[in-house]
């Protein structure tokens, strides 16, 4: 039987890197002593009052269809927290509730792009961008960031990649996998380019609440950008709610209306009890988010301290989020061989960061997704593994010399 050409456009290429994650989950299920650091879903449970709100709603019979763009009270709450978080003046009419940031990203993309369009995306990038953009028929143009400059965006490369077909720039700040937070000056340059070439900017800000030392800036707040920017976010990372699938897009009203039409045929509304939990989550933001941020920061510092001085490794200090990139090129191993060797010998699973783009070749992505004790144990196992690798390399060099 025949399929549409869409099936080829959405078949991802970066899936191989995830095999290690599946292997780790299978080993954990068999009761083996594994430490899974290969995913962006932390060990925290969703805070109790949020879960309680969902349970209350379910018990009260909140199990019917809901309005497509999201309940008014939730859209108002999201708009208010957006104003509070980044300062862009928006109302409920600028908000559409989606099934996680991923669904927002996909839906926005289908409403903005079509065959023949080009989209610039700094690379390495979050894995689902490729299929989401290709589904629309548009071409993803990866723009390598500067790995030697701590994975900061290369603005000249971005400018050079603009053609008459360019319709949009997608960016994630803070970035997964690099943990980089874009600076005001970088965003100002991107904003100038967007205005000069009449481009949309889609700004994925799912980690915006989890910045450590750097202040997060939303590009939508820069002069002239509100009408051409879509800001995407969710509760997955900031409130440990990945499995609830609750996210949103903040955008100009005409785009919100188009997305609502798409979501009518894709989702037919987000479950009411999930929306009630989301409302409670936003009400609890002042308590939940600082605690989450402090925990990630503590974990980042532990991982950096334990691995930062290990000969053979070069860790990049993440500015935000739940991941750290580690340069393992001095070990002489490919990141793929390293991740599998590490997993087989120690039970620790991390990802080959090249899955996020060729610029991250030779780097691992380690997630701070387990508690202090297990993270410390994982880092010790990694250090021991690297020590063995470096020792073997030295012995080999000695033998070759002899």
Ligand X SMILES: Cc1ncc(COP(=O)(O)O)c(C=O)c1O
**Binding site residues, ligand X, CB under 6 A:** 40, 100-102, 126, 172, 176, 204, 206, 234, 236, 242, 247
Shortest distance, position 270 Cβ to ligand X, whole Å: 12
Q: Which residues of 129-161 are buried (b: 16+ CB within 10 A; e: fewer)?
A: bbbbbbebebbbbbbbbebeeebbbbbeebbeb
Shortest distance, position 27 Cβ to ligand X, whole Å: 22
Q: Which is nearer to ligand X, 107 or 331 (CB)?
A: 107
Phi, psi of 207 (to 5 degrees): -105, 10
Q: Which is nearer to ligand X, 94 or 234 (CB)?
A: 234
Residue with tokens 């430490």: 35
CA distance 400 to 204: 50
Shortest distance, position 342 Cβ to ligand X, whole Å: 22
Residue with tokens 């109302």: 91
Shortest distance, position 204 Cβ to ligand X, whole Å: 5
Q: Which is nearer to ligand X, 306 or 322 (CB)?
A: 322
Residue with tokens 């997305």: 259
Q: Which is nearer to ligand X, 79 or 97 (CB)?
A: 97
Q: Give the residue nearest to ligand X (CB).
A: 100
3-state DSSP of 335-392: HHHHHHHHHHHHCEECEEHHHHCHHHCCEEEEECCCCHHHHHHHHHHHHHHHHHHHHH
Shortest distance, position 236 Cβ to ligand X, whole Å: 3
CA distance 382 to 377: 9
CA distance 78 to 83: 9
CA distance 117 to 73: 36
Q: Which is nearer to ligand X, 101 or 111 (CB)?
A: 101
Closest CA to 41 of 367, 282, 353: 367
Q: Which is nearer to ligand X, 172 or 310 (CB)?
A: 172
Shortest distance, position 38 Cβ to ligand X, whole Å: 12
CA distances from 91 to 79, 96, 112, 259, 307 (A): 5, 11, 21, 17, 45
Please list the residues that pair with 363 across neighbouring strands.
327
Indicate the DSSP class of residue 202. Answer: E
Shortest distance, position 50 Cβ to ligand X, whole Å: 15
Shortest distance, position 198 Cβ to ligand X, whole Å: 25
Q: Which is nearer to ligand X, 94 or 173 (CB)?
A: 173
Contacts (Cβ under 8 Å, ≥6 apart) of 124:
145, 151, 175, 177, 178, 353, 356, 357, 359, 360
Structure tokens at 340: 């599998």
Q: Which is nearer to ligand X, 53 or 369 (CB)?
A: 369
Shortest distance, position 376 Cβ to ligand X, whole Å: 24
SS3 content of the chain, % helix, strand, coil (to 5): 50, 15, 35
Total residue length of the chain: 402
Phi, psi of 288 (to 5 degrees): -70, -45
Shortest distance, position 43 Cβ to ligand X, whole Å: 15
Q: Which is nearer to ligand X, 175 or 333 (CB)?
A: 175
CA distance 10 to 6: 6
Q: Which is nearer to ligand X, 97 or 194 (CB)?
A: 97
Q: Which is nearer to ligand X, 85 or 313 (CB)?
A: 85
Shortest distance, position 246 Cβ to ligand X, whole Å: 8
């Amino acid at each position: 039987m025949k399929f549409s050409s869409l099936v080829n456009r959405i078949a991802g290429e970066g899936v191989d890197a995830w095999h290690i994650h599946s292997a780790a989950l299978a080993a954990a299920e068999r009761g083996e002593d594994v430490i899974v650091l290969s995913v962006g879903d932390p060990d925290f449970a969703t805070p109790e009052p949020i879960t309680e709100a969902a349970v209350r709603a379910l018990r009260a019979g909140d199990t019917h269809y809901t309005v497509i763009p999201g309940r008014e009270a939730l859209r108002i709450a999201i708009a208010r927290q957006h104003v509070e978080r980044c300062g862009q003046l928006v109302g409920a009419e600028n908000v559409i509730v989606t099934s996680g940031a991923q669904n927002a990203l996909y839906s926005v993309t289908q409403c903005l792009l079509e065959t023949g369009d080009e989209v610039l995306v700094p690379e390495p990038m979050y894995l689902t961008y490729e299929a989401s953009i290709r589904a629309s028929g548009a071409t993803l143009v990866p723009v390598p960031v500067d790995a030697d400059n701590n994975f900061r965006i290369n603005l000249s490369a971005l400018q050079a990649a603009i053609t008459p077909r360019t319709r949009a720039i997608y960016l994630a700040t803070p970035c997964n996998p690099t943990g980089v937070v874009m600076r005001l000056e970088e965003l100002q340059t991107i904003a100038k380019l967007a205005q000069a070439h009449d481009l949309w900017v889609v700004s994925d800000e799912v980690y915006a609440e989890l910045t450590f030392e750097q202040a997060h800036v939303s590009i939508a707040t820069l002069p002239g950008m509100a009408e051409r920017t879509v800001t995407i976010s969710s509760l997955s990372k900031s409130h440990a709610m990945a499995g609830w699938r609750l996210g949103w897009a903040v955008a100009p009203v005409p785009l919100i209306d188009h997305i609502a039409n798409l979501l009518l045929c894709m989702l037919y509304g987000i479950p009411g009890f999930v929306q009630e939990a989301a409302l409670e989550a936003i009400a609890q933001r002042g308590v939940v988010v600082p605690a989450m941020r402090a925990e990630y920061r503590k974990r980042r510092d532990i991982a950096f301290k334990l691995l930062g001085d290990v000969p053979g490794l070069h860790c990049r200090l993440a500015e935000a989020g739940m991941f750290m990139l580690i340069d393992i090129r001095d070990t002489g191993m490919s990141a793929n061989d390293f991740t599998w060797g590490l997993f087989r010998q120690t039970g620790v699973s991390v990802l080959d960061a090249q899955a996020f783009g060729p610029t991250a070749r030779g780097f691992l992505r380690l997630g701070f997704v387990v508690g202090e004790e297990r993270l410390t144990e994982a880092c010790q196992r990694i250090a021991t593994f690297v020590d063995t690798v470096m020792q073997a390399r030295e012995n080999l060099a000695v033998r070759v010399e002899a």
